[in-house]
Structure formats: C-alpha cells, structure tokens
Amino acid sequence: MPSASPIPAGHPAVATGKVGVLLINLGTPDAPDAGAVRRYLGEFLSDKRVVEIPALIWQPILRGIILRTRPKKSAHAYSQVWTEEGSPLAAITAQQARALQARLGPDVMVRHAMRYQNPAMAVELDALLAAGCERILVAPLYPQYSAATTASALDALAAWIKPRRRLPALRTLPPYYDDPLAITALHADMARQIAAFDFVPELLLLSFHGMPERTLHLGDPYHCHCRKTARLLSESFAASHPGLRVETSFQSRFGRAKWLEPATDTVLLKEAGAGTRRMVIAAPGFSADCLETLEELAIRGREEFTGAGGTHYAVLACLNAGEEGMALIEALVRRELGGWIAPARDSSVDDSGGGR
C-alpha cells in the first residue's frame, strides 16, 4: 500500500485520533460565600429544565426574592461541609476523573465538568477536542434519569455542538438505575459500611433527591427509576440483612408545589415518633457526596431524628471514588466505549493464555 502523504509545508498541526470521556455532575458554587452561591443559584434556577415556570413569571421572583434571601443561608450550609479541595461534590468528581484515567490508561483522555459553574462543560469539551479527541463519551453521573439532570446536561451538550464547525463523534452514558453492576456495587458498599458501625440498625432509609410531583404526571421517568433502584436494593438487603427494614423517601423540597412523597424530613420525625431508635440513611441517587448528603442528611437529618427520640443515626457515604464506585464507573464507561477502545485485559489470565 502507498504510504500516507506527508503533511504539506505550513499546514497547522491538528491533534487527532484520541478518545475522550467527560464525567459530568450537577454543579456547585466556587466558594462558600453568598456571592458565589448567588451566581450558582442564578444559573441553576434559570434552567428551564429545573424550574418549569414561564420566565416572565419566574425571573422576577428569582431575582427579586430568592437570590436576595437564599444565598446567605445556603452559603452557611456549604461552609459546614467545605473542604481544602473546595466543594465536596467538585473535589470528589475530580477524584473520580483521576481514578478513571488511571484505570483506562493513556489510550483515553478523561476530564470532568459541572453542568452549572466550573469546570464548565463547554470549556472541557473544547479541551478534549483540542487534544485530538475525535470520539467523546459524555457521561452524566446520574443513576436515575430526570429531565432536570440528565436532559439538562444533554441540553448543554447540544448548545456546545450548535456553533461549532468541527465536531467529534459523540456518545452519551445512559441511566443505570437498575443495572445489576450498579445494584451490586451499592449493596456491597452499603453493607460494608453498616458492618463497621457500633450499632445494629433497625431501618435503612433510601433517600432520593425530590422533584415536583407534576413532573411524574408529565411523563418524567425519575420517580419510577428511583422506586426501582430502591426495590432492587431492598431485595438485596432482604437476602443479606433479613432483620433490616428498608424504606424510601425524597428530600430537598423547595417552594410551595407538591413534591414527590414521602418527604425525608417527615419520615425521620415519623419513625422516631413511632419508636424507631437506630437507623442508617443512604442516598443511592447521588454518585458523589455533596451538600444534600453531608449537610441536609448528615447534619440536619441527625438533629431531626435524635431530637424526636432516635438514639443512633448514621449516613452512609456515596460510592464516591471508592473501589466499588470506581469499578462501577469503569465498567459502565468501558461498555459505552465498545468499538472505540480495546477491551480490558482479563487479569485472571496470564500472557501465555493459561489460568493463574
């Protein structure tokens, strides 16, 4: 075969031939202060996927009331969980990207982005393209699909696509709410954490982020996805922890509209009032710990449950960048990269083809 033609003299260098992965999570303010929180909430709550109220009605409320009153309160909440690496969500998502890069090796370039604020999706997609990634997997780390999360991330991807002349081949990670790999990883990680406590819980409460109830009636599958994740986990724990009761709730209500029920804060008070004294709570809808798990559940949730009579309360960490979590992310990503990268080598077989 004839050799490839040399690049003409003076032709600009163009990086090509690489595969990229962009991990995406929701977003976070850049600092635990009112100004940064105001910028974050202004972007987040202006997304029509998040607040489905006509802008002419919603924006005066958002700008005139919410962004004048809520940032200070939210900044205080963020300050209680802020780390040296910044927001827990930002720090953990960065850890996940680094760990995935190490697992996939040099054949794939891994970066991470936030749907709102920084690092911005458009900036990170540009960086992958400039580095020569002609094939990119966009991977929203939302186990359950919702228009307000997964679809919003894809909106941002579409907005990045629209003005660009040069585009890569693109794939997106589907939701994995009932994937056996996800259920197995969640069950194993939760069971390991429960075994380390100095008390035996009576109740495991699975708390998912809430959504307005109207989204269910409009066809959003989120509620059904959460319920199926909860059912599959309940079945796993029925086999491994037959004395442990498992319940489901929805947290983070906002505004006056009716939200998915039962509400987590209501369940905490009801359970304590009914005599439940020892409980653990997990958030299997979150791929990384964040304000909603570390402050809302771990701090305020504890105050509500123990204040109503509970004696033992613990919040299970999310999968984060732990072994179960990273094995799951790697498996999901490798599946979606099929045909773009070589299959992972089976470490149980040596180079001669014989078993170890």
How does pLDDT run across 111-134, given as a tens digit for each residue? Answer: 999 999 999 999 999 999 999 999
Kindly indicate the confidence band of residue 354, based on its pLDDT and cuts at 50, 70 and 90: very low
Q: What is the pLDDT of residue 350?
A: 45
Kindly indicate the confidence band of residue 7, based on its pLDDT and cuts at 50, 70 and 90: low
pLDDT in tens, 156-196: 999 999 999 999 999 999 999 999 999 999 999 999 999 99
d(CA 309, CA 322): 33
- The arithmetic mean of pLDDT across residues 197-202, rounded, is 98
Q: What is the pLDDT of residue 256?
A: 83
Kindly indicate the confidence band of residue 352, based on its pLDDT and cuts at 50, 70 and 90: very low
Q: What is the pLDDT of residue 11?
A: 64
d(CA 280, CA 174): 29
Whether the pLDDT of residue 255 is over 90: the answer is no
User: Domain 180-315 belongs to what architecture?
Assistant: 3-Layer(aba) Sandwich (3.40)
3-state secondary structure at position 25: strand
Whether the pLDDT of residue 355 is over 70: the answer is no
Q: What is the pLDDT of residue 5?
A: 59
Quote the strand ranges of the chain, DSSP E. Answer: 18-27, 108-116, 133-140, 169-172, 203-209, 245-251, 278-282, 312-315
Kindly indicate the confidence band of residue 21, based on its pLDDT and cuts at 50, 70 and 90: very high
pLDDT in tens, 24-78: 999 999 999 999 999 999 999 999 999 999 999 999 999 999 999 999 999 999 9
Q: What is the pLDDT of residue 351?
A: 43
Number of other residues whose CB lies within 10 A of the CB of residue 256: 6
Which of 118, 57, 7 has its CA nearest to residue 255? 57
Q: What is the pLDDT of residue 346?
A: 63
Q: What percent of the chain has pLDDT over 70?
A: 94
